[in-house]
Structure 1
Amino acid sequence: RLTHSFVNFDTINLAIRRGLRSRFLSDNFDPIGTDPYSSIPYSIVDSLEHKLLTKQIFTIGPSSDDISVQAHTYHGTPSKLITTLDGIQSIALKYNVNVVHTWDASRRNNSDEDFAHAIELSGESNIILFVDGLDESFEEEDTDRNTLQLPGGQLELIKLLMKLNKPFAILIISDSSISEPLIVNENLAALLWISYFGHDCLPSTLPINTSQLLPIDDYSMNKSPGRTYRYLDYNKAPPLFPFDYGLSYSKFTFNSKLIIFPNPINNLDTDITTNISIINEDPYRAQFVVQLYYEFSNSTVIKLSIRELLQFTKITFEKKMNKKLFLLHFMLEIFPIQIDNNY
């Protein structure tokens, strides 16, 4: 088959490496008798007692089995609506994992009458998934919210579940911002926000609360503390999550200073070259998004933004890999409006 070019040596070597790696990890090549588990017969391994140790996922929350979160404004009409619970159950079934479900927290009121039931099911489960957020009655073209927090009794139940010290994940489904600093600061649960199913998710700056927001009838961008990442003064109104915030499974470090050429920039009609070295410090293959901003921190020009995103790129790093990144940007792309108006 090599003769006919159906496969090459690189593909064969990759398959061999994968096969050998799995055998190394499962101790297949260890000397006979050194594995303490090899003497356990299959009658015990495959016993009814062990089969009953199947993991259980507890799925809870008002958005977990609610089709309205995928039939929101500007939605299509699929042939079948699949809720978060439906998706988890279909995957869990393949791995013989049991899924239990209850709502037990309302968006409408602060009632805690079902909290005891939720705590009981949580105690019987290995993993807790809380699916919460908003629905169309809280946010529409003609509907305003008076808070950025989760409505109803959702947060109170989350507080109780965090105390159980179990693997806990929170999935927030909404179209507009949800800000819960307590969940972030306690760091006792994995937190993921998504938009209503089928909607695009655009990066945004997430404020801590409504006190950081300008009046809705004031459309100015640069009035203190400012709007959007371009005009927001992070010292006056530090956001809960800044624009395009993200996490990675690995730790990345900039291990050199950002080098800019030319420096200083005396002519706007010029190319700017920037380079910096980045290292993946952990033993994991991972991706990292590098963002290049230009800040106008000392500018006295009123209409000039505080910062501008110039470029971004996603890079894949092998474990412990160090890369040097070069970015090229044309200054006139930043200032077309300012130059036209003699700013």
Structure 2
Amino acid sequence: MNDKIEKLIKEMTLEEKASLCSGGGFWNTKAIERLGIPQIIMTDGPNGVRYSENAFDSPNGFKSKPATCFPTASALASSWDVDLVYEVGRAIGEECRSMGIHILLAPGVNMKRTPLCGRNFEYYSEDPFLAGEMGAAFVDGVQSMGVGTSLKHFACNNEEYQRMSISSEVDERTLREIYLTAFEKVVKKSKPWTVMCSYNKINGTYASENKKLLTDILKNEWGFEGIVISDWGATNDRIKGLEAGLDLEMPGPSPMNDQKIVEAVKSGKLDEEKLNETVRRYLNVLFKALENDTRLDYDKEKHHELARRAAEESMVLLKNEGRLLPLNGRIKSIAVIGSAAKEPIYQGGGSAQVTPTKIDIPFDEIQKLSQGIDVIYAEGYKGFDIDENLIVDAVEKAEKSDVAVIFAGLVRGMESEGYDRRDMRLPQNQVELIKRVAAVQKNTILVLAAGSPVELDFIDNIPAILLSHLAGQASGSAVARVLFGKVSPCGKLAETYPVRLEDNPSYLNYPGEDGKVIYGERIYIGYRYYDKKHIKPRFPFGYGLSYTSFEYSNLRFSKDMMVDDDKLTVSFDIRNTGDIAAKEIAELYIKPLSSKVSRPEKELKGFKKVFLNPGESKTVSIEIEKRDLSYFDTSYGEFVAESGEYEILIGSSSQDIRLKGIIKYQNNKVYRKHLTADSPLKDWLEDEKGRALLMSVLPPQMKERLSNANSEAMWFIGSIPLRKMVMMSRGALTDDIIDRLVKQI
């Protein structure tokens, strides 16, 4: 294959090479018929194929071909089930093959920094470990069908506000630990064919021309071998972009930018070998795509059933007082309330919006499973305006029934690409309805459809809440099956639900001003922040109830000490102590017991989902490694695991820790700080060579004062930069001596 690619590059004209650096249309790349090079077809999206031969083929705008609308990423992440996400990815890959699609523009692994981001439903989590695991499973599934993926949006695209111009101002440690980690995991583990750069700037430089991001880190450090493509319209300066590592500009065609590339090569501004490398990468992806270029059929009903199972696995039972759920034979009548019961809220807007092959209607599905129970319907609300007649009708029907099931959520248009939400509230007409119904019906169940957290200040009066997320075209039947106990809810939150928007760590630094958004919370996003500040959220990260109960026991380690690049296996037992077969998600967190830098109270580093029959017990094993103990040290420019003790925490949520144990880690690598004239004396003294050099030139009295690391003198003098000692030593040290020390170190 390499020989074929090199032969093609030699046969191409400069203009032909440049033409492959931009698309040939909205969804396709360019073909070079003279050389037998065909085009590649790509399309959205993360929760189902969104494709049309023409980008805007109807008077009303974009209209895509029917495809299975699976649960959105925010829902799938709440399943904590990598095998399930792989299945969904594989199914979407099949549907791509049925339409002749070569590359799917998904998944999105951006962090949920603020609950208001309009595309949060497209992203997996506030936690990079969980997002990385989900993203890798999805990529593996899609690419197992011979269809490529495009990992997006690289990077720090955490709001839609001014997304094409805003500069995300983020420090190096935060960038590496939080905002790049999921990308790194997916690139290294699953090798996506393409990575899509984001619209925004990172620290003042557009992502599309950010060499540090696209080449130094992605290609050189992580070993990414595919192509970097722009988000649609994300290109700024095409020559800077090409030099930085942006291989393909989308959409196309872009004859002006192609010509700029030709002129840059001819003038010597751009090395032709850089262009050759871009073409080489592109052709490598092209030939991968051509290996599986045959159309396949898929079973629409089978995929619908998978969508339903994925929805069931993702739903989170937030509250269940008095075991109101599951509904059973003691219920004689149900009032199903809310327009969303007949017009389900199942997906968000923008480039992830799918034309479904079919839709399960919640009210219809509840009727199917009611088994003689009297089921009545009340619309309750319509649009955003409060309609007193609709509310009165709903209240009357709820009062006369044994149970009221209210379907509510973020209606169409509230969650979408292109803009952020204004607040965390549900529409006021829904809130009014919920409060009025709950006032007359003590057995009120709220089914909440939302791709991101909402405020629930009425929660005390609602005994049961089921979060359905944006669960796709089969969400209606999935909700009904969970309500009636055909399946026990087993999803857990992949993001923290704050009590109010003001509690969110990004609150004071969102959406930004003067073209910048400051990531002032640094590494403390999501549960990391709530833990550190001891702020109790509405529902914590990793939280979710079941129709049964589980007991954790017998924590053990394969070894007590990890050394250097060792791995260690953590094992424990889980038993189903209830009378219903169900699945439990066990979560593993790691807490450093000491560190020279500020670190989170704990961080997720492993999880397992297990099925248990009543009374059944199983052993769960999770492997951890050096990286799981590490933080990014900017002094050394790498992830560092400090020697010392680490607490292993096993929980049913981030705040429901069931088991604890301590392991030790010994790192035998010697780390030396980069010492300069501006480094404090303490850093020089902590470095073996630096200490020897410094002591050789200090006057005796100062040597004595600095000999004790815990002395009062050290606390004061130790913070002084070496350069300042020219003045502080009263002439004992000179600029020449300082320069000599720096050269010697």
One-letter amino acid of the structure 1 residue matched with residue 467 of structure 2: L
Counterpart position of 1:108: 384
Instruction: Pick one of 296, 308, 323 that aligns with 2:592.
Output: 296
**Aligned residue number for residue 254 of structure 1:** 552
Match for residue 366 of structure 2 among 84, 88, 107: 88
Name whichever of 202-211 and 226-235 sits farther off. Answer: 226-235
Q: Deviations for 1:196-254, whole angstroms, at most 9, x for unmatched residues?
A: 52599982222221112212234527448x31335553544322222221112222223
Question: 1:220 aligned to 2:519?
Answer: yes
> CA, structure 1 residues 181+261, in 2 after alignment: closer, same or farther (shift >3 Å)?
farther
Query: In 1, distance between residues paired with 2:415 and 2:608?
Result: 33
Measure, in 2, the Cα distance between the counterparts of 1:61 and 1:140: 22
Higher mean displacement: 185-194 or 288-297? 185-194
Give the 3-state SS of the residue equivalent to 2:366 in structure 1: helix
Other-structure match for 1:21? none
Q: Is the 8 A contact 1:288 1:314 kept in 2?
A: yes
Q: Shift of residue 311 of structure 1?
A: 1.7
Report the CA distance shift for 1:237/1:107 in structure 2 as closer, same or farther (over 3 A): farther
Q: 2:625 — aligned with what?
A: 330
1:275 and 1:82 map into 2 onto residues whose CA distance is 41
Give the number of equivalent residue pairs.
283
Residue aligned with 1:155, SS: helix
Give the one of 72, 76, 82 matched to 2:354: 76
TM-score, scaled relative to structure 2 = 0.34
**Secondary structure at 2:398 match in 1:** helix
- Point out which structure has higher relative CO (alpha carbons under 8 A, 6+ apart): 2
1:189 corresponding residue in structure 2: 464
2:433 to 157, 162, 165: 157
Identity of aligned residues (%): 23
Q: For residue 290 of structure 1, report the CA deviation from its aligned partner.
A: 1.1
Alpha-carbon separation, structure 2, partners of 1:105 and 1:78: 25
1:147 and 1:336, CA in 2 relative to 1: closer, same or farther beyond 3 A? Answer: closer
- For the 8 Å contact 1:261–1:274, the answer to whether it is kept is yes
Cα deviations by residue, 1:246-295 (Å, 9 ceiling, x for unpaired): 11222222344x43454465x34222232333333323333221111112
- Residue 396 of structure 2 aligns to a residue whose secondary structure is helix
2:428 aligned counterpart, secondary structure: coil
Could you tell me which residue of structure 1 aligns to residue 414 of structure 2?
Answer: 138
AA paired with 1:163?
A: A
Most deviating of 112-121 and 169-178: 112-121
The structure-2 alpha-carbon separation of the partners of 1:237 and 1:297, relative to structure 1 and needing over 3 Å to count, comes to: farther
Report SS of the residue matched to 2:468: strand
CA-CA distance at 1:131 after TM superposition = 0.5
User: Which shifted more, 107-116 or 155-164?
Assistant: 107-116
User: In 1, distance between residues paired with 2:338 and 2:390?
Assistant: 11
Residue deviations 1:303-328, cap 9 Å, x none?
A: x5543322211223333344443333
Q: How many Å apart are 1:77 and its aligned residue?
A: 1.5
CA shift, 1:127, in A, is 3.0
Shift of 1:133: 0.7
Structure 2 match to 1:48: none
- Residues 81 and 284 of structure 1: is their aligned pair in 2 closer, same or farther, counting only changes over 3 Å? closer
> Please, which runs of 5 or more residues in structure 2 have no aligned partner?
1-330, 476-490, 641-745
**Does the Cα contact within 8 Å between 1:147 and 1:209 map onto a contact in 2?**
no
Q: Would the aligned equivalents of 1:130 and 1:170 in 2 still touch at CA under 8 Å?
A: yes
Is 1:242 equivalent to 2:540 in the alignment? Answer: yes
Q: What secondary structure, in the 3-state scheme, does the structure 1 residue paired with 2:589 have?
A: strand
Q: CA RMSD in A?
A: 3.4
380, 400, 420: which is aligned to 1:124?
Answer: 400
In structure 2, relative to structure 1, the CA distance for the partners of 1:206 and 1:190 (3 Å cut) is closer
**1 CA distance for matches of 2:495 and 2:389?**
36
SS at match of 1:287: strand
Bigger shift: residues 268-277 or 82-91: 82-91
Instruction: Compute the displacement of 1:130 (Å).
Output: 0.5
Asked whether 1:60 is paired with 2:337, we answer: yes
Range with bigger deviation, 186-195 or 202-211:
186-195
1:280 aligned to 560, 576, 587, which one?
576
Which residue of structure 1 lines up, in the alignment, with residue 566 of structure 2? 270
2:395 alignment partner, SS class: helix
SS at match of 1:157: helix
Cα shift at 1:188? 1.6
Give the helix-richer structure, 1 or 2: 2
Q: Which amino acid aligns with 1:341?
A: E
Instruction: Give the TM-score of the pair, scaled to structure 1.
Output: 0.68
Say if 1:71 and 1:253 are closer, same or farther in 2 by CA, change over 3 A. Answer: closer
Are the structure 2 counterparts of residues 219 and 294 from structure 1 closer, same or farther at C-alpha, using a change threshold of 3 Å?
A: farther
Which shows bigger deviation, 191-200 or 243-252? Answer: 191-200
Listed as ranges, the gaps of 5+ residues in structure 1 are 1-53
Range with greater deviation from structure 2 (61-70 or 194-203): 194-203
Letter in 2 for 1:149: R
Relative to structure 1, the CA distance from residue 220 to residue 119 in structure 2 (aligned partners, 3 Å threshold; closer, same or farther) is same
